[in-house]
Amino acid sequence: RGILESCAEWNYAETVPELVTARDKPVLLLCRSGQRSAFAAERLLEMGFTDPRSIKLGIKGWNDADQPLVDADGTEVDGDDAMALIELKPRPDQLAPAGS
């Protein structure tokens, strides 16, 4: 089971509109091995998303192929550090919207 909760950010006004408008945009999915992201891409297609994309071998395959990893600021990230980030457990505030 992939943990989507660790990627969820609740309480942001733009979250729902961005999800709605993402239905017609490429949505990149990434997991450790590529299997869970491929499964998630299939589910997104069933939900009406038109262009979900999965990295075939996941972050592990990307890292094994010595491909560069960068953060949102364009700073290079060590592959081991990236693996540690992708395996983080969700925070309590990421498990459900506020007030639920």
Ordered domains of the chain (ranges, CATH): 4-92 (3.40.250)
The predicted pLDDT at position 16 comes to: 63
Other CB atoms within 10 A of residue 73 CB: 5
Residues 13-43 have pLDDT tens digits of 666 667 777 889 998 888 888 998 999 899 8
The predicted pLDDT at position 99 comes to: 65
Q: Is the pLDDT of residue 65 over 60?
A: yes
- Indicate the pLDDT class of residue 71, thresholds 50, 70 and 90: confident
CB 43 within 8 A of CB 18: no
In this structure, are strands 51-54 and 26-29 parallel, antiparallel, or unpaired?
Answer: parallel
The predicted pLDDT at position 98 comes to: 66
